[in-house]
Amino acid sequence: MKQDSPRHTVVVWDLPTRLFHWSLALCFALLWATGEVGGLDFVVPLPGGKTWFITNMDLHMWLGQAVLALVVFRVLWGLWGSSPSRFRSFVRGPGAAYRHFVQLMRGAVPAGIGHNPAGGLAIVAMLVLLFLQAGTGLFANDEIYSEGPLAHLVSSEISTRLTDLHGAVFDVLLAFVALHVAAVLYYLLRGKNLIAPMLHGRQTLPAAGEGATLYHAPLTRALLFFGAAVLAVWSLHWW
Ligand code: HEM
C-alpha cells in the first residue's frame, strides 16, 4: 500500500507489530512478577460450586508459552510481514551500528524510518534471548511440584541444568530490556519520540516522498501467522 500525505506522515508500525510489542512487554512484566516475586495465586469460581485454583507457577508457564508464540509470530512477520517490520529492512551489520553511535556522539540524532541499525541488532538479540528463555522454561522444574511441559522428555539432571540456564538467561535479558528502555528514553530526551509510533503506528518524516514505497501486509496474513505460532506452541503438549 502506498503512503502519500502532504505532512509526510506514514504508518511505520502496523497493528500486528504494535500488538506484538505491547503484549510482549506485558507478558515480560508478568513473567518477572510470577518468576521472581511469586504469590500470584487465583481461585476462579466455576459453575456448580466448583473452583479452579490457578497457581503462580501455572500463570508463569502459560505466559512463557505465550511469549514463545509471540516470538514465533514475530519471526514469521519479520520474514513475510510489512516492510518496516521485516528483518531485512532493519538488520544491519555492526559497522552500521557503530556509525550510528558515532553520529549520536557528534550530537546528531539520525533520521530514518523504522529501527536504527543499533536498535535493530538489540531487537534481534532480544528475540533470540526470549526464545532461549521460553525454550529452556519448557524443560525447567521448580523442584517442588511444577515442571515445564517438556521436562518429562529429559533427565532430572538436564532439567536442573536447563532451569539454571533459564535463570541466567533471564538476567541477560533483563539487562537488554533495561538498555532498550534506557535507549528509548535517551532518544526522547534528544527530541526523537520513538514511543508514540509504537503506540499509534505513525511516524512523521522530514523529507518529501520518503516512505512512499512502504508495504503493509494484510491483517489476514498476521492472523494466519499468529494462529500457526499458537498451534506450534500448543502442539508441544502432545510430545
Ligand atoms: C515500558 C517499556 C517499553 C517501552 C517504552 C518500549 C518501547 C519501544 C519502542 C519505542 C520501540 C521501537 C524502537 C524503534 O523505533 O526503533 C520498541 C521496540 C521493541 N521492543 Fe520495546 N519497549 C518497552 C518494553 C519492552 C520489553 C519489556 C521488551 C521485551 C521483553 C521489548 C522488546 C522490544 C522489541 C522486540 C522491539 C522490536 C519491535 C518489533 O520490531 O517488532 N520492549 N520498544
Q: Which atom of ligand 1 is nearest to the CA of 185?
A: 5
118-154 tens-digit pLDDT: 999 999 999 999 999 999 999 999 887 789 999 999 9
Q: Which atom of ligand 1 is nearest to the CA of 184?
A: 10
Could you tell me the distance, in angstroms and rounded to a whole number, from the CA of residue 22 to the centre of ligand 1? Answer: 8
Taking CB atoms and a 6 Å cutoff, what residues make up the pocket around ligand 1?
17, 20-21, 24-25, 28, 74, 85, 115, 119, 123, 126-127, 177, 180-181, 184, 194-195, 198
Cell of 16: 500486528
Per domain, the residue ranges of the chain are: 19-204+217-238
Does residue 2 carry a pLDDT above 70?
no
Q: What is the SS3 assignment for 42? A: strand
The closest alpha carbon to 121, from 98, 99, 92, belongs to: 92
- In the chain, what are the helix, strand and coil shares in percent, each to the nearest 5? 65, 5, 30
Could you tell me the distance, in angstroms and rounded to a whole number, from the CA of residue 180 to the centre of ligand 1? Answer: 7
Indicate the CATH number for domain 19-204+217-238: 1.20.950
| pTM (2 d.p.) | 0.93
**Position with higher pLDDT, 2 vs 84:** 84
Could you tell me the distance, in angstroms and rounded to a whole number, from the CA of residue 176 to the centre of ligand 1? Answer: 11
Give percent of the chain with pLDDT exceeding 70: 95
**Position with higher pLDDT, 134 vs 39:** 134
